């Protein structure tokens, strides 16, 4: 982290737009660190649930215009456009706007660039800051962020970003961070499909999933991610953290970037077919870990939950 001044928590007025699973967890961490956080969410009850965690609630987005920094964490490019430049949006009043907007959503570089331009027209600095993780990862202090935009602006808010997890990585100007997140999510899909294939191979060969994944996670091939997904693979708990539809969207973004930059992606293309099969199966409200279940069915076996405890590596939540 690069900082030019020591930051005292609470000296910046922080607005937060979007209190879904991720947004709520991230805003909570800022409040727990002593920051002054006010949250707006389309469904007010989700914002009100954060009052007991130290956040205030904004009645309207307009209530956040006088804040120093406003974070956005929304689902789609159209949602981002609506909360920033739509009717009643953060930038709708030419006389008042925050100094900095930090967008943590996963959107295309084109959408990000359009919102950056809208901010610039109003004298607002814009940082693209997509994240890697989910609500439980945030709670465990393991969230990571990749950031692009004016470096001076990054320096001004980097202390806030540090509160959110393991830290932020600044990667340059413009929409560089968006491409980094797209590349990240391509690997997310590829690794999960590979893990599904080898786990099914081991299972069909007579090995139980729990000991196989325990071995894998102890080896050099194991990772934070394979350990984190192991409980879902062992116990077939597909409670959604990230759905096949969202993953398909990121593959579409990745292939668009690859086409523009003339980069062949044969492994990603094969994985994309499996992701599309997951969407086509109709199981769009479950976690993308259903790739395991679909791989098993195409291999002629039916998996059953093992119903055994499996360490996901995130059990000890960060108390900071």
Mean pLDDT by 10-residue block, N- to C-terminus, for the chain (320 residues)? 64 96 95 97 96 97 98 94 97 95 92 97 97 89 96 96 95 96 96 98 97 98 95 97 93 94 98 98 96 97 96 62
Q: Residue 317 has what pLDDT?
A: 44
Q: In angstroms, rounded to a whole number, what is the distance separating the alpha carbons of residues 134 and 226?
A: 15
pLDDT at 263: 98
Query: For residue 5, what pLDDT is reported?
Result: 58
Task: Find the DSSP H helices in the chain.
Answer: 21-32, 44-48, 77-85, 109-121, 135-139, 151-163, 176-204, 209-218, 224-235, 244-261, 266-280, 290-298
Q: Where in the chain is the domain with CATH 3.40.50.720?
A: 13-174
Q: At what angle do helices 109-121 and 176-204 cross, to 10 degrees?
A: 150
Domain(s) of CATH 1.10.1040.10: residues in the chain? 179-298
For residue 136, the model assigns a pLDDT of: 86
For residue 100, what pLDDT is reported?
A: 98
Cα gap 94→283, rounded to integer Å: 45
Report the CATH fold assignment for 13-174.
Rossmann fold (3.40.50)
The CATH code for residues 179-298 is 1.10.1040.10
């Amino acid at each position: 982290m690069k900082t030019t001044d020591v930051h005292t928590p609470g000296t910046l007025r922080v607005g937060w737009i979007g209190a879904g699973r991720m947004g709520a967890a991230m805003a909570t961490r800022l409040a727990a660190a002593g920051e002054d956080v006010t949250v707006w969410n389309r469904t007010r009850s989700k914002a009100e649930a954060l009052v007991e965690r130290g956040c205030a609630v904004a009645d309207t987005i307009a209530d956040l215009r006088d804040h120093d920094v406003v974070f956005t964490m929304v689902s789609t490019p159209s949602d981002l456009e609506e909360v920033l430049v739509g009717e009643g949006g953060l930038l709708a009043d030419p006389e008042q706007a925050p100094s900095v907007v930090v967008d943590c959503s996963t959107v295309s570089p084109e959408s990000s660039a359009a919102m950056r331009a809208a901010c610039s027209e109003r004298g607002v600095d814009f940082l693209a800051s997509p994240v890697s993780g989910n609500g439980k990862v945030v709670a465990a202090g393991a969230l990571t962020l990749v950031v692009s935009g004016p470096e001076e602006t990054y320096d001004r808010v980097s202390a806030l970003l540090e509160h959110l997890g393991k830290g932020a990585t600044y990667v340059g100007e413009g929409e560089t961070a968006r491409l980094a997140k797209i590349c990240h999510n391509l690997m997310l899909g590829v690794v999960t499909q590979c893990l599904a294939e080898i786990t099914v191979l081991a299972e069909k060969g007579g090995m139980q999933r729990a000991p196989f994944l325990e071995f894998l996670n102890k080896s050099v091939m194991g990772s934070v991610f394979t350990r984190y997904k192991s409980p879902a693979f062992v116990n077939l708990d597909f409670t959604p953290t990230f759905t096949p539809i969202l993953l398909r969207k990121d593959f579409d973004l990745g292939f668009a970037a690859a086409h523009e930059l003339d980069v062949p992606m044969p492994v990603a293309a094969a994985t994309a077919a499996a992701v599309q099969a997951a969407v086509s199966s109709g199981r769009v409200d479950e976690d993308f870990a259903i790739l395991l279940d679909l791989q098993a069915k195409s291999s002629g076996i039916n998996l059953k939950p093992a119903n055994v405890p499996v360490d996901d590596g995130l059990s000890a939540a960060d108390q900071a």
